[in-house]
Amino acid sequence: MKSRELNRPESPAEVLRARLRSLGLTQSQLAGQLQISAGYLSDVLASRRRITPQLALDLEQELGIPAQTWVALQGEYELEQARLQRAARKDVRGEK
């Protein structure tokens, strides 16, 4: 899945928020189903925390999206963030 910007991977948080909307679930409801704190889920939805393999398994069970998809989304997102950070460092140093 790609975000609005060309070739930028969607964050797992974007995908999770969209899934919640499509199912008509609130954050609190999903947190209860996952047996995690609402604050933890809020951090995941704000991309302040990552989707761990354990959380991916729990999301698979509750939402029907395979754990492998969640883990892949997280990895693609983190890799893109690392690329952006590297590019920003090079820009600051005037490198190409």
What are the extents of the domains in the chain?
12-93
The pLDDT of residue 1 is above 80: no
Q: Distance (Å, rounded) from C-alpha 63 to C-alpha 75? A: 20
Query: pLDDT per residue over 26-80, tens digit each?
Result: 999 999 999 999 999 999 999 999 999 999 999 999 999 999 999 999 999 999 9
* Whole-Å CA distances, 86 to 10, 45, 62, 69, 89: 19, 25, 36, 26, 5
Are 80 and 8 contacting, i.e. CB atoms less than 8 angstroms apart? yes
- What CATH number should be reported for the domain whose range is 12-93? 1.10.260.40
Residue 39: what pLDDT?
A: 98
The contacts of residue 64 (CB under 8 Å, 6+ apart) are none
